[in-house]
Amino acid sequence: MCATPGWASVCGPAVFQVEFELSRGGTSRGRTAVIVGAQWGDEGKGKIVDVLTQTFSVVARYAGGHNAGHTVIINGKKFILQLVPGGILRPECTSVVGNGVVIDPLAFLKEVASLRVAGVKVDGNLFVSNRAQVILPYHRMMELGSENAPGRVKIGTTSRGIGPSYEDKMGRRGLRVADLLDTHLLRTHIENACREKNMIAHALFNSDPLDADKMFREYSDAARELVPFVRDTALLLNRALAEGKSIVFEGAQGTMLDIDHGTYPFVTSSSSTSGGAATGTGVPPTSIDTVIGITKAYCTRVGSGPFPSELLGAEGEDLRKRGNEFGAVTGRPRRTGWLDLPLLRYAGMINGISWLVVTKLDVLDHLTEIPVCVGYKVDGKETDEVPAQACGYDKIECIYRNMPGWVSPTQAIRTVEGLPKAAREYMAFIEKETGAQVGMISTGPDREQTILVDEFMHRLGLESPAARD
């Protein structure tokens, strides 16, 4: 663990009060790990973050918004988290919504209210960055108009206003959480933005205009409720690290949905890959120790766009049913296919993945043979290159290898040794083909249905819950 010189003076002024209890002091920096989706999202990141909070102290979301749906099941009780980080389900954990997230205040408050009803602690342990961008109703209006406009590429978005909000951020005309709390600024911002967006949406999509006064009243009320959660979270996180606390950076979406590295334009509008963890939280890249990629034992995607190993027809339908592959947020059926190793290798390269977590192994329990895409052919030639253009995927022909299935239940299995031989061989094959090590295997949706590989636990310093900093 390296101590980072110089910055302790920046993040250690006495005026700043750390809101959470420090169970241990110390001079060395806390451990950090990024959890990143290695496919097109819905890999099971929520479940894995929840398992890791056994020992990590802080969870920080770094990108996306309430387009995410992270499912955590604890003793049969289901939580679907959209904006609130996975750490919230352990009261001793601190949860942070970072500056890279786009936050719909109404959606956030609704999620917080439902967590309160479920008896989850959300006061004093949940913080939102004062630099996060705000999603406002005109972002949804612009997205709906654009998705349905004739001649436009339909992305199949979640209709949450994510893209237009990131557009305003990059266009330097967005509203940030700190501005939301400034009543005067909020009013002028909403008045100006509504005038502009109403004109554009009417001209382009014939949309009905939004009422700025009504919007101001609704969002100034929400701002008042948001105040207790708002902090300078970059300061909070760096301070926590300096005090020896460990942080999990919770990714949303997945590598192939990343704005730069995904299947553009069929992507989301944020940096969902591991690089986004630094810019999306204000923790420097030099403070990131490990990147953990999450992959299903097969592959899914929701929304439009390329999917080389997609299964169409009855086989795909069967995998969808067995894996319960329906969107956690929109309920849309997910497209299904076989594991795609060229894409996994690409995700490994882009994110710097050293550990893989393989989820939903149990969904393949019935198969006698499991096809895996081991390479791509383009114009009859083998290639490991992932196309830059979405249309480039049309030329890809997947090379498949059939792995032997195990045809026995894996659901209750908690150790690697307890897995059927063919399942262990499937894991070893993934390791050999990707160069990453498998650190965890998920054999069911519940927190307890997880295999933790000893070396992974040891390397991450996660031997036991007592190891929490």
Q: What are phi and psi of 380, to 5 degrees?
A: 80, -5
> To the nearest whole angstrom, how small is the minimum distance from the Cβ of residue 87 to ligand IMO?
15
Structure tokens, 218: 């609704």
Residue 360 binds to ligand GDP (criterion: CB under 6 A)? yes
Q: Does 37 bind ligand IMO (CB under 6 A)?
A: yes
Which residue number, 30 or 87, has a Cβ lying nearer to Mg ion? 87
By a kind-dependent CB cut-off of 5 to 8 A, residue 11 interacts, out of ligand IMO, Mg ion, ligand GDP, none, with none
Interaction of residue 69 with Mg ion, rule CB under 5 A: yes
Give whichever of 190 and 328 is closer to ligand GDP, judged by the CB atom: 328
Confirm whether 366 is a catalytic residue: no
Q: If binding is defined by CB under 6 A, does position 42 make contact with ligand GDP? A: yes
Q: Does 49 bind ligand IMO (CB under 6 A)?
A: no
Among 31, 45, 66, 261, binds ligand GDP (CB under 6 A): 45
Does position 73 bind ligand GDP by CB under 6 A?
yes
The answer to whether residue 179 is catalytic is: no
Both tokens of 29, joined, read: 């920096």
CA 41/CA 398 separation, integer angstroms: 21
Tokens of 53: 């909070």
List 31, 61, 66, 70, residue binding ligand GDP (CB under 6 A) = 70
160 binds ligand IMO (CB under 6 A): yes
Total residues at the site for Mg ion (CB under 5 A)?
3
Contact partners, residue 334, CB within 8 Å, separation at least 6: 42, 300, 301, 302, 320, 325, 326, 327
Closest CB 331 distance from Mg ion, rounded Å: 12
Residues between 299 and 328 that touch ligand IMO (CB under 6 A): 302-303
Q: Which entry of Mg ion, ligand IMO, ligand GDP, none binds 163, CB below 5 to 8 A by partner kind?
A: ligand IMO
Q: Cβ distance 119 to 91 under 8 Å?
A: no
Q: How far is the CB of 155 from ligand IMO (least distance, A)?
A: 5
- Which residue out of 42, 168, 362, 469 is catalytically annotated? 42
CB 419 → ligand IMO: shortest distance, Å?
26
Backbone conformation region of residue 380, classed left if phi is above 0, alpha if psi is from -120 to 50, else beta:
left
Selected binder of ligand GDP within 359, 413, 434, 439 (CB under 6 A): 359
Contact status, residue 216 vs residue 27, Cβ threshold 8 Å? no
Q: Which does 145 bind (CB under 5 to 8 A by kind): ligand GDP, Mg ion, ligand IMO, none?
A: none
Identify which of residues 145 and 323 has a Cβ nearer to Mg ion in the complex: 323
Minimal distance in Å, beta carbon 42 to ligand IMO?
4
Contacts with Mg ion, 17-56, as mask; x by CB under 5 A: -------------------------x--------------
Which of 70, 139, 189, 261 is flagged as catalytic?
70
CA dihedral 232→238→240→246, nearest 10 degrees, is 130
Which of residues 58, 201, 328, 427 is near Mg ion by CB under 5 A? 328
Query: Least separation, in Å, of the C-beta of 283 and Mg ion?
Result: 24
State yes or no: cis peptide before 265, omega within 30 of 0.
yes
Q: How far is the CB of 31 from Mg ion (least distance, A)?
A: 26
The residues in 246-285 that bind ligand IMO, with binding defined as CB under 6 A, are 252-254, 257, 268-269
- Which of 163, 306, 323, 445 touches ligand IMO (CB under 6 A)? 163
Which member of 68, 247, 259, 283 binds ligand IMO (CB under 6 A)? 68
Q: Given the rule CB under 6 A, which residues bind ligand GDP?
A: 37, 41-47, 69-71, 73, 324, 328, 359-360, 362-363, 442-445
Q: Given the rule CB under 6 A, which residues bind ligand IMO?
A: 37, 40-42, 67-70, 155-158, 160, 162-163, 252-254, 257, 268-269, 302-303
* Residues taking part in catalysis: 42, 70
